[in-house]
Amino acid sequence: MPTKKKTKKKKPTPKAKQKGKASPKPKAKAKPQKVVRAKARVTKEKSALPRLRMLIAAHPGLVLREPERSTFAAEARDLDAVARASSDVELLTHCVFALRKMAQFERALAIADRALAIERTFATLTAKATVHRAASEPDAAIALFDEAARLDATDLSALMEGGRTLGEVGRFGDAATWFHRAFERDTTDMAALVWREYSAYCHDKKREHVAAIEKVANEGLDDGLASELLESIANES
């Protein structure tokens, strides 16, 4: 028999296998990495809000004083990065509160404007208003508190904050008007009544306002605010 047939036993290298080895498919490997980075960013953003809530609650006050301000700032040093990466309105408003506490008013207002551009709500309006209040810009604060108060006819807080803002800059007659607006919405709210009478007294020094505050204190209708304000009046005399 001829020997030529024996040479057929050699198997050629399949082209399909070589082709498969030559294609690394870089795009398929890159996609999982992008997903991982996106998940990490979302997780960081979600964890920022509860962290900020706790931090703000632990440091009450419109603007913090030293050394508390520095302590607060050390714990909130990544605020700008968090705010830039987020479009969550609640997170943005909490960034506004935190920056306001550190007296970083320009930065706070910039983020407040971003939140307002997303949605113009009671929360975003009052967040920006508190920054203007802290920065001693009462007219800008009052305009925002007024807009917020008109969004919810049952709410007293925006009107009360507006009254406090005016009282802080010595505009006691205007403050009394704002507290009266709050009291008109809820005539059982003794804080609104007491602040109205106190502001009116600071404005015109009429004893009838002191008598109204004394009545609330004597009848125990409030949580002690009336007594505090009576003491303040007595110390002024």
pLDDT tens, residue by residue, 114-158: 999 999 999 999 999 999 999 999 999 999 999 999 999 999 999
Residue 112 has pLDDT above 60, yes or no: yes
Q: What is the mean pLDDT of residues 174-186?
A: 98
8 A C-beta contact, residue 92 and residue 111: yes
If one counts every other C-beta atom within 10 angstroms of the C-beta of residue 185, the result is: 15
Q: What is the dihedral of CA 185, 189, 190, 191, to 10 degrees?
A: -80
Say how far apart CA 58 and CA 80 lie, in whole Å. Answer: 20
Q: How far apart are the first and last CA of the chain?
A: 134
pLDDT per position as a tens digit, 22-54? 555 555 544 444 433 333 333 456 688 999 999
Q: Is the pTM of this model over 0.85?
A: no
- Measured over the CA atoms of residue 167, residue 173, residue 174 and residue 178, the dihedral's sign is positive
pLDDT band at 222 (very low <50, low <70, confident <90, very high): confident
Say how far apart CA 99 and CA 109 lie, in whole Å. Answer: 9
pLDDT per position as a tens digit, 71-82? 999 998 888 888
Q: What is the mean pLDDT of residues 89-105?
A: 96
